[in-house]
């Protein structure tokens, strides 16, 4: 009878130990899975923020380009008020976007170098 009790106690103890090891393994897997989910969520959030930032930058650059192009196109007008409006638009753009200031200064300087008299323009074109 004692041998049966001892054998059953060993069997129950072994079964309990196996159950405890399985529970520990499940708990460890669960914790690793949760940590992985959190890491993926953080990575996804970081990526979404980078994409949003890049999109905002692209929109801002596109707007600057459109404003620059529109202002520079006004320089080609035959009407002085339109050219003056283009000059003011470029000046405002240069004030708002420091990265474009030198380019805008270069455009204005190039415009000032262009001959203003129609016959002088024709002579300059004929030389080229």
pTM for this model (two decimals): 0.54
Query: pLDDT category, 23, cuts 50, 70, 90?
Result: very high
Dihedral sign from CA coordinates of 76, 80, 85, 91: positive
Those residues whose C-beta lies under 8 Å from the C-beta of residue 83, and which sit 6 or more positions away, are 74, 75, 77
In the predicted structure, residue 128 carries a pLDDT above the cut 90: no
Across residues 17-35, what is the average pLDDT? 95
Burial (CB count <10 Å: 0-12, 13-18, 19+), residue 93: buried
Confidence at residue 123, expressed as pLDDT on a 0 to 100 scale: 56
pLDDT tens readout for residues 68-115: 889 888 877 888 888 889 899 999 999 998 988 999 999 888 888 877
Largest CA distance in the chain: 127
Task: Name the domain count of the chain.
Answer: 1
Contact 86, 92 (CB under 8 A): no
- The span from the CA of 115 to the CA of 119, in Å, is 9
Q: What range does the domain containing 63 cover?
A: 2-127
């Amino acid at each position: 009878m004692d041998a049966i009790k001892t054998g059953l106690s060993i069997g129950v103890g072994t079964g309990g130990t196996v159950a405890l090891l399985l529970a520990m393994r499940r708990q460890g897997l669960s914790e690793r899975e949760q940590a992985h989910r959190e890491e993926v969520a953080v990575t996804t959030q970081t990526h979404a923020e980078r994409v949003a930032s890049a999109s905002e930058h692209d929109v801002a650059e596109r707007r600057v380009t459109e404003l620059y192009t529109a202002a520079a196109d006004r320089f080609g007008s035959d009407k002085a008020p339109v050219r003056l409006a283009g000059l003011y638009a470029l000046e405002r753009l240069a004030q708002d976007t420091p990265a474009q200031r030198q380019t805008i200064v270069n455009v204005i300087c190039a415009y000032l170098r262009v001959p203003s008299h129609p016959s002088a323009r024709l002579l300059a074109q004929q030389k080229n």
